[in-house]
């Protein structure tokens, strides 16, 4: 390809395809390929370096360097020119390698004889696989055409690696997507699961990167592009009346779908010998590489649009994707970059586990996973690139760890752990109907958190005495339009029916911060957790709140009703909200609807300020519930969504427990009922400590009721309180070590 013509590059690709078609072992194939490339490019050297692990590159084949160095020479990411190419994902082209920045002399290869160096990253859709290098004795820069041709070759190599073409006897390279891999992410929902991978959006596998009839490929590309454009136009038509932002996104889509530059580059790729799908993927890979570098949020979004469009195009071209016809395995573990709550609900309880590449602890997906009690790991980086449909996979939601294609020893240790958990669950069933009375005779009421219809069967199964927190916003979050009042009435009535007279605390809409309704215009706030959320929205725009209050009263249909307002920061907010309830009651009365037999109106204590409200407030409010998730984030000024800080401060920190004690004292003075409904209430040791501080109602995930009750039954709260008080007197930061030691010897 000294002259860099298209036909030369096509010839090279043609030969590569022949190399791929032989049934040679992996190493022989790699050797043949380096020989072919060096010969076609007119260079003395061609080498292929592939990643051994995420940090190390290994020389896997070479034409022109010393053969003894194959599988011996290794470079760390960023080391030498090869390492630089791998790290930056960018081409290095220099006529004088030894004096180029970062050059590292590798005597074992004999490369000192070569002056020019051209290194091309081998990557596939943002996944770095290795580096392709050509070197020559004469000092020259490689032309743009030569670089382009080699990029095409690198892309084909990436596809071949993906298909396992370099695996086999003699190759030190283990097959991609066949190795075991462990991912460390964060806990979204506890629990352990074993199953098989189900990709929410399966990756498209290209089996024919090289094509020998460019005219046919061009035709295929044009047909696919036409289909894509029609699809985008249809989407645009359908959403003409819709949301402005959605329209903007679709307009941007249309712009890309008609982009001449994009088309031209793909046509050039095809002219050089790539198949239509390989051309799409090559451009997509480059867009992804750009996406990694770009800081500007707007530009990143546009690149993401292009990425999405490329995926659609690939699906059209290959017929793969959602219509693969693949069947959901019997024990599916869902893998996705991210997933919306609606999609997740559609899968429902059929899923054994969920692993998300992004996601966050408070995301809607996490909320739904929790409601369905499906183990969830979030932030499992690169899992969507590594996992393939049907792979064996273990999900440890407790530790936030995922084992993909695990070794047998790992799988059997994991099964032991699951069996132990199953034993424990069986033990909890035996205490399900027992009241939670501590050794020193304190009766603790254990109730559950809920929010979806899917939660309701747990009321029976868990032994919960009622629902201490019904998060009404979940019903709003999982829809794509505002629910109607009649729908809400039916829904709340079903909840009360299922509760069969047990108390249900309905929390009014808690939106804002991390909970953004898809059909409400998001407000651009610098600090949403401290912003316009929950009761603040309810009071400023009372329409939705009134509709919800009406729906609750009608659903109660004469039965007792308990309403709780979220995020009350000062007494006046509670008073205003209560006044709204009274007004609604009056209106309902006039309309002739039956009124609740008993009405309790409470507030959530989620901001430290409310703990210091005037005593009058404590007298007025029917009950208070500590929303520990929010309260803790504001008490320690540590964002509950931020992995870096969210675990930094211990719930058993003396300051926090003293604060809880203060709230208990204030409620005791006024005889106000107090509960705790944040996640910590479901952690047995924390729950016991809250009980020791005087909290008598704990609301938690249904799955936590058994473990919490089991510990409470074995605990003397008076003794535990002494341990806590003693720790505080000693001036420790957290009483956890002392408490754990005490539990170790007493409970």
Q: Which is nearer to ligand PEP, 151 or 630 (CB)?
A: 630
- Residue in the block written with tokens 């290994």: 58
Give the active site residue among 46, 654, 677, 689.
677
- Residue in the block written with tokens 């190390």: 56
State yes or no: is 677 an active-site residue: yes
462 Cα distance to chain centroid: 28
- If one asks whether residue 510 binds ligand PEP (CB under 6 A), the answer comes out as yes
Question: Which one of 263-271, 316-324, 481-489, 622-630 is the stretch in contact with ligand PEP (CB under 6 A)?
Answer: 622-630
- Segment 623-652, which members bind Mg ion (CB under 5 A)? 627, 630
CA gap 609, 101 in Å, rounded: 58
Longest dimension (CA), the chain: 97
Which does residue 338 touch among ligand PEP, Mg ion, none (CB within 5 to 8 A, set by kind)?
A: none
Give the active site residue among 46, 60, 177, 364.
364
Which does residue 628 touch among ligand PEP, Mg ion, none (CB within 5 to 8 A, set by kind)?
A: ligand PEP
Check: CB of residue 310 under 8 Å from CB of residue 263. no
Those residues whose C-beta lies under 8 Å from the C-beta of residue 438, and which sit 6 or more positions away, are: 444, 691, 712, 713, 715, 716, 717
- If one asks whether residue 162 binds Mg ion (CB under 5 A), the answer comes out as no
- If one asks whether residue 400 binds Mg ion (CB under 5 A), the answer comes out as no
Residues contacting ligand PEP: total by CB under 6 A: 10
Q: Which is nearer to ligand PEP, 171 or 469 (CB)?
A: 469
State yes or no: is 593 an active-site residue: no
User: Taking Cα atoms as reference points, which of 73, 267, 103, 71 lies closest to residue 171?
Assistant: 71
Question: Which one of 446-454, 594-602, 605-613, 647-655 is the stretch in contact with Mg ion (CB under 5 A)?
Answer: 605-613
Q: Which is nearer to ligand PEP, 312 or 701 (CB)?
A: 701
Which does residue 576 touch among Mg ion, ligand PEP, none (CB within 5 to 8 A, set by kind)?
A: none
Check: CB of residue 594 under 8 Å from CB of residue 558. yes
Which does residue 677 touch among Mg ion, ligand PEP, none (CB within 5 to 8 A, set by kind)?
A: ligand PEP
User: Taking Cα atoms as reference points, which of 374, 605, 642 lies closest to residue 513?
Assistant: 642
> Considering the complex, what minimum distance in angstroms separates the CB of residue 471 from Mg ion?
9
- If one asks whether residue 58 binds ligand PEP (CB under 6 A), the answer comes out as no
- Segment 282-311, which members bind ligand PEP (CB under 6 A)? none
Helix axis angle, 244-257 to 214-238, nearest 10°: 160
Residues contacting Mg ion: total by CB under 5 A: 3
Tokens of 413: 């240790």
> Considering the complex, what minimum distance in angstroms separates the CB of residue 360 from ligand PEP?
13
DSSP state of 280: H
Collapsing DSSP to helix, strand or coil, 86 comes out as helix
Question: Which one of 137-145, 296-304, 426-434, 626-634 is the stretch in contact with ligand PEP (CB under 6 A)?
Answer: 626-634
- If one asks whether residue 629 binds ligand PEP (CB under 6 A), the answer comes out as yes
Q: Which is nearer to ligand PEP, 141 or 641 (CB)?
A: 641
Those residues whose C-beta lies under 8 Å from the C-beta of residue 293, and which sit 6 or more positions away, are: none
Bridge-partner residues for 354, per DSSP?
Answer: 334, 376
Which does residue 159 touch among ligand PEP, Mg ion, none (CB within 5 to 8 A, set by kind)?
A: none
212 Cα distance to chain centroid: 41
CA gap 120, 151 in Å, rounded: 6
- If one asks whether residue 602 binds Mg ion (CB under 5 A), the answer comes out as no
CA gap 210, 197 in Å, rounded: 29
> Considering the complex, what minimum distance in angstroms separates the CB of residue 627 from Mg ion?
4
> Considering the complex, what minimum distance in angstroms separates the CB of residue 618 from Mg ion?
20
Task: Kindly report the backbone phi and psi dihedral angles of residue 699, in degrees, each rounded to the nearest multiple of 5, phi listed first.
Answer: -115, 130
- Segment 69-128, which members bind ligand PEP (CB under 6 A)? none
Q: Which is nearer to ligand PEP, 143 or 629 (CB)?
A: 629
CA gap 533, 511 in Å, rounded: 6
Q: Which is nearer to ligand PEP, 305 or 606 (CB)?
A: 606
Which of 185, 332, 468, 628 binds ligand PEP (CB under 6 A)? It is: 628
- If one asks whether residue 471 binds ligand PEP (CB under 6 A), the answer comes out as yes
DSSP state of 561: E
CA gap 31, 170 in Å, rounded: 11
Which does residue 364 touch among Mg ion, ligand PEP, none (CB within 5 to 8 A, set by kind)?
A: none
Q: Which is nearer to ligand PEP, 84 or 471 (CB)?
A: 471
- If one asks whether residue 512 binds Mg ion (CB under 5 A), the answer comes out as no
- If one asks whether residue 602 binds ligand PEP (CB under 6 A), the answer comes out as no
Check: CB of residue 736 under 8 Å from CB of residue 728. no
159 Cα distance to chain centroid: 27
Check: CB of residue 564 under 8 Å from CB of residue 534. no
Which does residue 463 touch among ligand PEP, Mg ion, none (CB within 5 to 8 A, set by kind)?
A: none
Which of 627, 702, 706, 727 binds ligand PEP (CB under 6 A)? It is: 627
Q: Which is nearer to ligand PEP, 282 or 471 (CB)?
A: 471
Which of 400, 678, 702, 707 binds ligand PEP (CB under 6 A)? It is: 678
Those residues whose C-beta lies under 8 Å from the C-beta of residue 315, and which sit 6 or more positions away, are: 204, 321, 322, 323
- If one asks whether residue 679 binds Mg ion (CB under 5 A), the answer comes out as no
Collapsing DSSP to helix, strand or coil, 721 comes out as helix
Q: Which is nearer to ligand PEP, 353 or 678 (CB)?
A: 678
Question: Which one of 65-73, 264-272, 625-633, 739-747 is the stretch in contact with ligand PEP (CB under 6 A)?
Answer: 625-633
- If one asks whether residue 707 binds ligand PEP (CB under 6 A), the answer comes out as no
CA gap 542, 239 in Å, rounded: 28
CA gap 272, 308 in Å, rounded: 25
- If one asks whether residue 473 binds Mg ion (CB under 5 A), the answer comes out as no
> Considering the complex, what minimum distance in angstroms separates the CB of residue 465 from Mg ion?
22
CA gap 657, 680 in Å, rounded: 12
- If one asks whether residue 514 binds Mg ion (CB under 5 A), the answer comes out as no
> Considering the complex, what minimum distance in angstroms separates the CB of residue 584 from ligand PEP?
23
Collapsing DSSP to helix, strand or coil, 379 comes out as coil
Q: Which is nearer to ligand PEP, 469 or 498 (CB)?
A: 469
E runs forming strands in 325-442: 332-336, 353-356, 376-378, 392-396, 401-404, 436-437
Q: Which residues of 120-144 are buried (b: 16+ CB within 10 A; e: fewer)?
A: bbbbbbbbbbbbbbbbbeeebebee
Element (H, E) at 134: strand 127-136
Q: Which is nearer to ligand PEP, 136 or 548 (CB)?
A: 548
Site residues for Mg ion per CB under 5 A:
606, 627, 630
Footprint on this chain of ligand PEP (rule: CB under 6 A): 469, 471, 510, 606, 627-630, 677-678
The catalytic residues are 364, 677
């Amino acid at each position: 390809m000294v002259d860099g013509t298209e036909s030369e590059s096509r010839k090279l690709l043609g030969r590569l395809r022949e190399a791929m078609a032989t049934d040679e072992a992996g190493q022989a194939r790699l050797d043949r390929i380096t020989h072919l490339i060096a010969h076609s490019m007119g260079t003395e050297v061609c080498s292929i370096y592939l990643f051994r692990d995420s940090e190390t590159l290994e020389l896997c084949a070479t034409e022109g360097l010393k053969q003894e160095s194959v599988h011996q020479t290794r470079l760390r990411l960023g080391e030498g020119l090869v390492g630089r190419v791998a790290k930056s994902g960018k081409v290095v082209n220099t006529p004088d390698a030894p004096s180029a920045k970062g050059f590292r002399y590798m005597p074992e290869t004999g490369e000192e004889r070569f002056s020019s160096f051209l290194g091309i990253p081998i990557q596939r859709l943002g996944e770095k696989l290795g580096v392709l290098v050509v070197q020559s004795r004469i000092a020259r820069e490689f032309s743009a055409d030569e670089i382009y041709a080699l990029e095409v070759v690198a892309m084909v190599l990436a596809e071949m690696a993906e298909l396992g073409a370099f695996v086999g006897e003699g190759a030190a390279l283990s097959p991609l997507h066949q190795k075991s891999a462990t991912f460390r992410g964060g806990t979204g929902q506890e629990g352990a699961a074993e199953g098989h991978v189900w990709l929410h959006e399966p990756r498209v596998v290209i089996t024919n990167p090289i094509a020998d009839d460019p005219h046919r490929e061009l035709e295929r590309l044009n047909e696919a592009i036409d289909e894509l454009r029609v699809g985008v136009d249809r989407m645009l038509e359908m959403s003409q009346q819709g949301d402005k932002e959605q329209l903007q996104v679709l307009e941007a889509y249309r712009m890309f779908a008609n982009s001449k530059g994009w088309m031209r580059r793909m046509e050039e790729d095809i002219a050089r010998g790539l198949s239509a799908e390989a051309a799409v993927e090559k451009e997509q890979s480059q867009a992804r590489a750009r996406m990694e570098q770009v800081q500007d949020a707007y530009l990143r979004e546009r690149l993401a649009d292009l990425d999405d469009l490329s995926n659609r195009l690939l699906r059209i071209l290959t017929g793969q994707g959602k219509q693969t016809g693949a069947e959901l395995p019997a024990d599916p573990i869902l893998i996705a970059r991210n997933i919306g709550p609606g999609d997740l609900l559609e899968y429902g309880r059929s899923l054994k586990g969920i692993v998300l590449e992004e996601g966050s602890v408070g995301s809607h997906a996490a909320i739904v996973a929790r409601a369905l009690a499906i183990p969830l790991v979030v932030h499992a980086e690169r899992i969507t690139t590594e996992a393939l449909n049907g792979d064996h996979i273990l999900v440890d939601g407790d530790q936030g760890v995922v084992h993909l294609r695990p070794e047998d020893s790992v799988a059997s240790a994991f099964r032991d752990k699951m069996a132990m958990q199953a034993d424990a669950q069986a033990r909890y069933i035996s205490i399900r109907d027992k009241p939670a009375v501590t050794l020193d005779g304190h009766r603790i009421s254990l109730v559950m958190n809920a929010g979806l219809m899917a939660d309701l069967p747990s009321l029976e199964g868990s032994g919960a005495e009622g629902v201490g927190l019904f998060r009404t916003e979940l019903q709003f979050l999982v829809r794509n339009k505002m629910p109607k009042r009649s729908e809400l009435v039916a829904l709340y009535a079903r909840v009360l029916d299922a509760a069969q007279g047990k108390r249900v605390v309905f929390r009014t809409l808690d939106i804002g911060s991390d909970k953004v309704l898809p059909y409400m215009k998001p407000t651009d706030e610098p600090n949403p957790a401290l912003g316009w959320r929950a009761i603040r929205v309810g009071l400023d725009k009372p329409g939705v709140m009134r509709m919800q209050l009406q729906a609750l009263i009608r659903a109660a249909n004469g039965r007792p009703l308990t309403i709780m307002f979220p995020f009350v920061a000062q007494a006046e907010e509670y008073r205003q909200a209560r006044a709204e309830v009274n007004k609604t009651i009056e209106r309902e009365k006039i309309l002739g609807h039956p009124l609740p037999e008993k009405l309790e109106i409470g507030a959530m204590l989620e901001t430290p300020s409310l703990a210091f409200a005037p005593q009058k407030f404590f007298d007025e409010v029917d009950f208070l519930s500590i929303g520990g998730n929010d309260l803790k984030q504001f008490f320690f000024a540590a964002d509950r969504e931020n992995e870096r800080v969210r675990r930094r401060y211990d719930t058993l920190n003396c300051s926090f427990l003293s604060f809880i004690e203060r709230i208990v004292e204030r409620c005791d003075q006024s005889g106000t009922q107090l509960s705790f409904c944040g996640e910590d209430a479901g952690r047995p040791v924390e729950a016991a400590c809250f009980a020791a501080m005087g909290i008598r109602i704990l609301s938690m995930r249904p799955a936590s009721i058994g473990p919490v009750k089991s510990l409470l039954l074995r605990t003397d709260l008076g003794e535990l309180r002494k341990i806590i008080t003693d720790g505080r007197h000693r001036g420790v930061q957290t009483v956890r070590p002392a408490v754990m030691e005490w539990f170790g010897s007493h409970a």
